[in-house]
Structure 1
Amino acid sequence: MTAAPPLFEVDPCFLGRLAVLANEQGRPIDPRVVGTRHGLRGEPVPLATVTAVGRDAGFGISPCRLSWDALGCVPLPALMVFRDRSTAILDAVLGDPPHSVLIREDGPDAPPLSLDHDDLAPLWGGEILLLETLGAIG
């Protein structure tokens, strides 16, 4: 794994993904309140804001760039950052070496999407947001 580039930016949809994960962990957050607090307005969000929003949502966030073969080492869940800067929840990496991943873009009722390397290669350049659940916030 390598560190993410310094100009790393993410579409603000990442906050919705964090809200889904926080809710699944029994720590519901209101993405509108958190987004307003951090000035999210629809344009790409710089890494400093991404990490601040993550802390507010109860997650430590570490960006990295890795290869398809390294996906098996990623602690899950994580957020995949696509070439268009949008995100999806990475729920599972299947196989060793990986032959496919399960991702979802919406809440817990949304079925996961299975993508193999050929499906994912045009969409994903290797950027991941690693998530660590933080202790009590406040």
Structure 2
Amino acid sequence: MLIRPRVCEDLDACVEALALVHAADRYPVDWPGDPGGWLTPQGLTGAWVAVEGGVVAGHVGLARGVEVVRLFVVPAARGGALAGRLLAAVRAAVGGPLELEVSSEGAAAIAFYERSGWRRVGSGRAAWLNAAGEPALVHRYVSS
């Protein structure tokens, strides 16, 4: 599996991969009207993809210099440490600790971050709604 910086030509394949993740995990909670735009949020300073045979199997973005955003791995590629490899690519680019927010509904993601040594530093309500239609509870983590 090759991990490399995302290029414009990858965006359609990233949207296809995101659709698989959304169907399996409801991430993002609500399918965006413009999924390509959702994968390219304001403040994005970099993005990486995991690709095998021309198919995008994972994605991660970096915003505001240290914040991990839009991290996902398609269900068929899970269990092989791909999320950790994507985070390692971001960490290598930054050269220091990273930050991220994760919804309390993302139990598997929270377990992964905590197993990987990330430390919860706070929690609060988001401006967007969770699956129950309430302001989502999000936890903020910092890498070691």
Q: Relative contact order, CA 8 A, sep 6+: which one is greater?
A: 1
Larger strand proportion of the pair: 2
Structure with the largest fraction of helix: 2
With structure 2 as the length reference, what TM-score do the two structures score? 0.28
TM-score by length of 1: 0.29
